[in-house]
């Protein structure tokens, strides 16, 4: 199929440039933030919220919840959301005084009212601590350097494998290894945290580490698996096709949403590196196009997982792959995309607008049933602002990077 470059001056109606669409994105971001303002507890923790904004029964606060809230409200501060500092302050205090393990170092996965609920030390959670510290640093938080320095030391000592150029996944509380599992998910979010750290500090070591992870997954692995990325690996980084763990965090096979996410991160890394003459944009495009081709469902939305050959395994339609697809396509368009990219951008936002966004109360429904109605089979309530907020803000960023010095427009 012949694709028309979006740089063609004949095309002036691109949604990324449309003032009406850009204003809608900004308003949607603010509506989400207003909804999640209600999650802050008196003790400084964050409750999970039901669809109507009421508080769900507590079952421990997980590290990725605490850290993503800090990051999300740092973005909220950029767009002038009132009360963002209050949310950042609460999250930073909770990470430092509740999740931080003063006995063994590192950060505990889950805390409840009685203390430690789950004491494992996961790379997945620790790289989100780095993301929170970096975003808080960009937002000018007074405790950001303290958190940044501490998490850097923990990542260097325990999680970063310099020989492999990848992250180890999991340890017991005292950092004794309890498995040899290696995975895509923690490393992908490691790239996210490393790029945020580079943006916050200018230290090229973070850019280099992110690049090493991206080269492994988007070049060596994806190119050998028809531009799909297996999720699970052995200790020596061989694909483990038989592994299946937690159905949300570690599903079997491949996850198209992760292909979209890591493709966007590859474009961000390329952009922050000065847009060198590499194959990064080509690799990102192949990952994005393959994921959308494989996973787009007949009635819209993206299937959650695929079998290794690309057939759909788990067809459940969740909110976060759609959010990541929007961010990935928007980033691709900023490199000089095609009208097919524009069609996908519109299709994805149309689906999100009609099926996922709660226009009355704010936030996104996490799942869509086969009949197109919201459901809560895997995710209770509205569990997350991080993915959906970024879907609204990546298109507004001046460049590919989410947190560039130009920030987001105060109005659009």
Of the chain, the end-to-end C-alpha distance in Å amounts to: 34
342: phi > 0 → left, psi -120 to 50 → alpha, else beta; which? Answer: alpha
Q: Is 258 a catalytic residue?
A: yes
Q: Which residue among the candidates 21, 126, 258, 269 is catalytic per the annotation?
A: 258
Phi, psi dihedrals of residue 360, rounded to the nearest 5°: -80, -50
387 is catalytic: yes
Sign of CA dihedral 398, 403, 407, 411: positive
Torsion from C-alpha of 292, 296, 302, 307, nearest 10 degrees: -80
Say whether 404 sits in a helix, a strand or coil. coil
**CA–CA gap between residue 391 and residue 194 (Å, rounded):** 20
Write the secondary structure of 1-57 as one string of H (helix), E (strand) and C (coil): CCCCECCCCCCCCCHHHCHHHHHHHHHHHHHHHHHHHHHECCCCCECCECCCCCECC
Task: Say if CB 166 and CB 174 are below 8 A apart.
Answer: no
* 394's tokens: 């990546």
What is the DSSP-derived secondary structure letter of residue 100? B
Helix (H) or strand (E) holding 384: none
Handedness of CA 289, 320, 224, 306 (dihedral sign): negative
What residues act catalytically?
258, 387
């Amino acid at each position: 199929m012949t694709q028309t470059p979006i740089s063609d001056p004949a095309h002036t109606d691109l949604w990324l440039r449309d003032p009406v669409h850009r204003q809608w994105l900004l308003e949607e971001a603010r509506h989400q933030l207003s909804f999640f303002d209600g999650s802050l507890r008196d003790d400084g923790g964050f409750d999970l919220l039901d669809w109507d904004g009421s508080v769900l029964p507590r079952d421990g606060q997980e590290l990725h919840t605490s850290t993503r809230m800090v990051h999300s409200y740092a973005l909220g501060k950029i767009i002038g959301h009132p009360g963002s500092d209050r949310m950042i302050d609460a999250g930073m205090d909770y990470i430092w005084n509740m999740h931080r393990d003063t006995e063994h170092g590192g950060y505990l996965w889950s805390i409840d009212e009685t203390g430690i609920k789950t004491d494992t030390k996961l790379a997945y959670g620790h790289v989100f601590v780095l993301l929170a510290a970096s975003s808080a640093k960009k937002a000018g938080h007074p405790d950001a350097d303290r958190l940044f320095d501490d998490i850097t030391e923990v990542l260097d000592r325990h999680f970063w494998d310099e020989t492999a150029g990848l992250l180890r996944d999991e340890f017991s509380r005292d950092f004794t290894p309890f498995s040899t599992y290696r995975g895509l998910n923690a490393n992908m979010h490691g790239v996210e945290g490393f790029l945020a750290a580079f943006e916050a500090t200018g230290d090229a070591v973070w850019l280099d580490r992110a690049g090493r992870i991206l080269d492994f997954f988007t070049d060596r692995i994806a190119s050998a698996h028809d531009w799909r990325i297996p999720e699970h690996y052995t200790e020596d980084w061989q694909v483990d096709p038989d592994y299946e763990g937690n159905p949300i965090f570690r599903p079997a096979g491949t996850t198209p949403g992760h292909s979209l996410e890591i493709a966007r991160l590859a474009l961000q890394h390329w952009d922050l590196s000065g847009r060198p003459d590499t194959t990064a944009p080509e690799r990102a495009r192949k990952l994005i196009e393959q994921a959308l081709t494989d996973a787009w469902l007949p009635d819209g939305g993206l299937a959650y997982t695929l079998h290794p050959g690309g057939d759909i395994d788990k067809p459940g339609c969740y909110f976060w792959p759609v959010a990541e697809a929007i961010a990935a396509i928007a980033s691709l368009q900023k490199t000089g995309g095609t009208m097919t990219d524009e069609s996908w951008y519109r299709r994805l936002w149309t689906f999100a607008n009609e099926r996922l966004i709660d226009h009355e109360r704010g936030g996104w429904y996490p799942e869509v049933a086969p009949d197109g109605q919201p459901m809560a089979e895997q995710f209770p309530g509205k569990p997350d602002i991080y993915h959906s907020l970024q879907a609204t803000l990546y298109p507004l960023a001046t460049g590919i990077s989410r947190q560039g010095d130009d920030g987001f427009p105060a109005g659009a």
